[in-house]
Amino acid sequence: MRVAHRTFDPHRWVNDMETFYLAIDVGTGSVRAALVDSRGTVRQIAAHEHEQIVPRYGWSKQRPADWWAGAARSIREVLERVPGAAEKVAAVCACGQMHGTVLIDADGQLTRDTAPLWNDKRTFAQVAQFRARHEESSYLHKTANPATPAWPAFKLWWIKEHDPESYDRARTVFMPKDYVNFRLTGERACDWNDASTSFLMDPVTRTWSRDMLDLLGLDASKLAPLDILGQVTKEAAAATGLREGTPVLVGGADYPVSVLGSGVHGAGLASDITGTSSIITVLADTPMLHPEVSNLATCDGAWGRFMLLDSGGDAMRWARRAFHENALSYDAIAQKAASAPVGCEGLFFLPYLTGERLGDHTNSRAVLRHRGQARAGASASRGAGGCRVRRAAAYRADPARRREHRTAGRGERRREGIVVAEHQGEHVSHADSRARASGVRRDGLRDSRRHRARPVRASHRCRERLRGLRTRSAARSARQRHLRPHDADLRAALCERATVLRRSRPARHRLSRIRTMIKAILWDMDGTLADSEALHLSTLVAVLAKHGIEAGEEMHPLIFGKTGREVHALCRERFGLSTDFEAWSAFRAQAYLDGAPHLVPRPGALEVYRAAKRAGIAQGIVSNSVRMLLEVNLRALGLEEPHLVTVSANDVRMGKPSPEPYERAAWLLRVTPDDAVVVEDSPTGARAALAANMRVLAWPLDDAGAALFPAEAQIVRTPRELAAALGLDTSTIPEHDDHA
């Protein structure tokens, strides 16, 4: 950001005691607004969450309108809590999640309702195409960054190819916080933080690079100017409660603002920040031009050389949910984890939940090397959510062989950084480093040399296993390997071709195509393999009765095919159920376990399953139930097979009708969606499979249920008809299904 300079006046902090600054943070999970006084004390803070939309593997998007709505509400709330605060706000400054690509037209209207986020990987095909055409040496010096799916340049390329109308109508491209700034001021601007990681900024001149725009075929006129912003408009004042004319700065991206707020400034210092992602940064005077190192222009004019995992704190959240520990705090979970031996007896977790930007899943190794090569005498600061867990921070400090500090100032480091930026924008010099680090206290993390060797040895073993996995994977042909979940564009192209072929053929030919092209069968569990619908209904009725609620058979169509959370929400709305989800789930799980010994397979289902196994067809099981109940069903049916691929509600972010469970199963089986057939008894599951571009054999429990399935699903009514549709030997298959 551009700032004016003058000598730092320490008395200003006292004289302006009643001056406030408003800090806005447009995060991935929520928008937060904080009212901070001139001493750096947070007087009020408010937050409003917004939805992260994940319609398929590799995709991640949000609605910019939600960001503005959350920002306006949060600003109004903090101002209302402090009488007269709106008149005393000296400046407004925002930071936000990076790389999210927002398009608006000449009238300031969105050309797309949603914006792809920083962790969206749909641009993998564009990145691969760019890398194939251009050597790294031809563009690294022009961008200071390697080509990755995160950068807005490739998101624009994707939009230009897949939504040309929206691209053509667009007048300006914004990052998330820029859109909020636009709604505040009506001005269009971007900052150096976001611009430097767009893959479109010249690192020498810090202006938009004509060379890169030409290489990517993008329009320079759509890029916002890099400049100071403006003032709060009359419309924004009405929406937020701010005073019209209040100065608004361009601000910065959330991660570099957090670095600044942690007191890390100037070459030679390092930062380790864990939020949704995990980012390690070393500050220097110049960027590092390396194919696996990214670079960012920092708030104080230096360069941040950084590497990251897209799933940092997100991996901790995933583990917390996967192991049914939602009731425990992260500190409590860390204490439990601390009792495990270093290296966990050879159990390794690869935190690539949303894919990675660079390398072949070797970023963790590169991060360790990068930290170890930081020059002697360098110190590091840790901040944000993941580093509040002291045990986790200490483990991460060991491999660096450096004395490290965990920031312990009150509140988020982003708020501290924004306030420093606002003082800079108000003409306070940023030459005095003490002003930037004011209010930041530090805890020293012990230098545990005695324990360092064990995690390092464990990392070496993990590396060897990864090398073996990559060697075996490379030996398979491209046709045999399934596209990774974040290869969304390539997979979508295959699925689109398959869909066109399927719909262009007459119905009488579709059956023969299933027989000849099938490589995998994906089974639903409840109602399809297991005759468990009655048990699920009886357990629900029993749990409701325990809470004084009467219910019966009429609940079956309401809960059919729904996840546990959806059923819980239904009961809260319909019956006023007051029990929280965790307690309710525990009651329901215990009731299901009590009835599980009497569970039987659906007549004919296991015979078809075994016939497919004899035919050498790969099979998987996909359920909306949690892992524990799925394992109970597998045990009751005798399907506890060593290499059986299973997907439960704990293994995905969204259950059916999202396509994610079936997409994950296909990925684990290493087949494309075009080569998989799904067997389902519920319309919800059928819609999930169709959304994953898979063929569906609908096996309803009765004739009435058959009418509820999508038209694209092929109805089968008996086990023998199901086996025939799969091209299997029908001689051992029962002719009738007792349900039919």
603: DSSP letter: T
- Cα–Cα distance measured from residue 280 to residue 288, given in angstroms and rounded to the nearest whole number: 14
Q: Is the pLDDT of residue 254 over 80?
A: no
Give the separation between CA 675 and CA 496, rounded to whole angstroms. 13
Q: How far apart are the C-alpha atoms of 17 and 3, rounded to whole Å? A: 22
The C-alpha atoms of residue 283 and residue 286 are separated, in whole angstroms, by 9
Please tell me what DSSP assigns to residue 702. S
Reply yes or no on whether the pLDDT at 519 is more than 60.
Answer: yes
Q: What is the pLDDT of residues 676-727, one digit of tens each?
A: 999 999 999 999 999 999 999 999 988 777 888 999 999 999 999 999 999 9
Element at 501 (helix H, strand E): helix 488-504
What is this structure's pTM? 0.56
What domains does the chain contain, in order, with CATH numbers?
Answer: 12-254 (3.30.420.40), 256-409+436-465 (3.30.420.40), 488-530+599-725 (3.40.50.1000), 533-598 (1.10.150)
What is the Cα–Cα distance from 662 to 676, expressed in whole angstroms? 10
Say if residues 726 and 697 touch (Cβ distance below 8 Å).
yes
Specify the pLDDT at position 146.
92
Helix (H, G, I), strand (E, B) or coil at 657: coil
What integer pLDDT is reported at residue 85 of this predicted model? 92
Average pLDDT rounded to a whole number, residues 169-173: 94
- Residues 262 and 272: their CA atoms lie apart, in Å, by 10
Please give the pLDDT value at position 35. Answer: 93
What is the mean predicted confidence (pLDDT) over 455-464?
A: 63
**pLDDT band at 117; cut points 50, 70, 90:** very high
How confident is the model at residue 116, as a pLDDT? Answer: 96
Predicted pLDDT at 406: 52
Task: Supply the pLDDT for residue 341.
Answer: 73
- Average pLDDT of the chain? 76
Alpha-carbon distances of 293 from 126, 282, 543, rounded to whole Å: 20, 11, 54
Tens-place pLDDT, residues 18-54: 789 999 999 888 899 999 888 878 899 999 989 888 8
